[in-house]
Amino acid sequence: MNFASKIETGIVRIKRSMVSQMSSSQSKGPSHSFHRVDASPWPAFTSLAAFGTALGLVLFWHQKPAGFAIRVLSRMFRILCATFWWRDVFRESEIGYHNPQVQRGLELGVYWFILSEAMFFFGLIWAFCNARRMPTLAIGGVWPPTQIQPVTWYELPLVNSALLLASFFTANAAKSALDNGNRKSCANQLIVTILLGLLFLLCQYFEYGHATFNFSSTVFGCNFYLTTGFHGFHVLLGVFYRMVCLFRVNDRTLQNHLSLKLAVRYWHFVDVVWIGIFSLVYLWGGQPL
């Protein structure tokens, strides 16, 4: 047996040993209540994808030819990493590693994430309100700034409020249906919630298309599009989250549907943020000072 054959034989033995250990651990399940996961490449790969996205944006803003390609490829790679990362989390749950203590930890992590996003939106809304309360000489000392026609709050913004209000109830209905073991009703309510979210995004698209100002139209346009645009992005994330829950609804049980529960919590967060945006940006922020 030559040297190459010995190396190949050793690799085969190592693979067999790893498979045997994984099968043994999966068959036995967790022996403790702590969340000790196997080594995963996805955190490192996701960080690399995020760095590539930031690099692509910088190059794109400086009008470099490779900026757009790097940004698109990095985003596709990040979506791929998220998909496989979620797959591994689902597998951990199916094996039995997500016991009540682990589920509490996962739930707490999502709540901290929601809190951090709430602080982010608080900063955006505060910037808009500060500009409205104390208009500077750069915009003529008046509000709304000269040549700015704010979006009328009782048109598409009011329609979007009704859509999110309806989705609040359908999201809760989906959770309640799964609690009662009715997967078909849960799937139907999830589909309705997804459609309401997509209609919200479509209305926001038409709103942006008919607005008389753009992102560069003084502090009003900058803060308006940042605040409403990032909220729309969170709605899109919530729609994708529900699509995953819909795809997995037949695999959920009464004791194992934490993903749907957290999806509903996230959607409630999106609803609450919209209440603040509608009240302060559209209704109060669109009135003359």
Is 60 exceeded by the pLDDT of residue 64? yes
CA atoms of 194 and 235, how far apart (whole Å): 10
The whole-number pLDDT of residue 27 equals: 46
Compare 267 and 256 and report the one with higher pLDDT. 267
Q: What is the pLDDT of residues 169-185, one digit of tens each?
A: 999 999 999 888 899 99
What average pLDDT does range 30-45 have in this prediction? 74
> Rounded CA gap, 269 and 233, in Å?
13
Q: What average pLDDT does this structure show over 46-66?
A: 91
Percent of residues, the chain, with pLDDT higher than 70: 85
For residue 236, give the 3-state DSSP assignment. Answer: helix
pLDDT at 23 over 60: no
For residue 184, the model assigns a pLDDT of 92
Residue bearing the bigger pLDDT, 60 or 38: 60
Please state whether the predicted TM-score (pTM) of the whole model is above 0.85.
no
| 236 — pLDDT class (breaks 50, 70, 90) | very high
Q: Out of 3.40.1440.10, 2.30.40.10, 1.20.120.1200, 1.20.120.80, which CATH number does the structure's domain 110-289 have?
A: 1.20.120.80
Beta bridge partners of 253: 256
**H or E element at residue 122:** helix 100-133
Say which residue, 180 or 235, is predicted with more confidence. Answer: 235
The per-residue pLDDT for range 98-148, each reduced to its tens digit, is 788 888 888 999 999 999 999 999 999 999 999 999 888 888 888 988 888
* The pLDDT of residue 11: 47
Four-way CATH pick for 40-97: 3.30.450, 1.20.1070, 1.10.3720, 1.10.287: 1.10.287
Q: What is the pLDDT of residue 93?
A: 80
Q: What span, in angstroms and rounded, lies between the C-alpha atoms of 233 and 280?
A: 19
**Whole-angstrom distance, CA of residue 233 vs CA of residue 176:** 27
Copy the structure tokens of residue 282. Answer: 């559209």
Q: C-alpha distances in angstroms, 227 versus 28, 201, 222, 241, 289?
A: 49, 14, 9, 21, 20
**Cα 259 from chain centroid (whole Å):** 13
Q: Which segments within the chain are labelled E, that is strand?
A: none
Task: Report CA-CA distances (Å) from 276 to 239, 280, 285.
Answer: 20, 6, 11
CA distance 282 to 224: 9
In whole angstroms, how far apart are CA 92 and each of 19, 71, 97, 103? 16, 32, 5, 11
Question: Boundaries of CATH 1.10.287 in the chain?
Answer: 40-97
**Range with the lowest mean pLDDT among 64-78, 213-227, 246-260, 262-276?**
246-260
Which pLDDT belongs to residue 167? 96
pLDDT over 90 for what percent of the chain?
A: 55
Q: How far apart are CA 97 and CA 261, in angstroms?
A: 18
- If you average pLDDT over every residue of the chain, what do you get? 86
Please list the residue range(s) of the chain that carry CATH number 1.20.120.80. Answer: 110-289
| Gap between the Cα atoms of 197 and 167, Å rounded | 7
| Helix (H) or strand (E) run with residue 87 in it | helix 67-95
Residue 253's SS3 state is strand
Structure tokens at 288: 């003359």
Return all residues near 245 (Cβ < 8 A) that are at least 6 apart. Answer: 174, 190, 259, 260, 263
Quick check: helix, strand or coil at residue 175? helix
- Rounded alpha-carbon distances, angstroms, from residue 286 to 133, 234, 279, 281: 12, 23, 10, 7
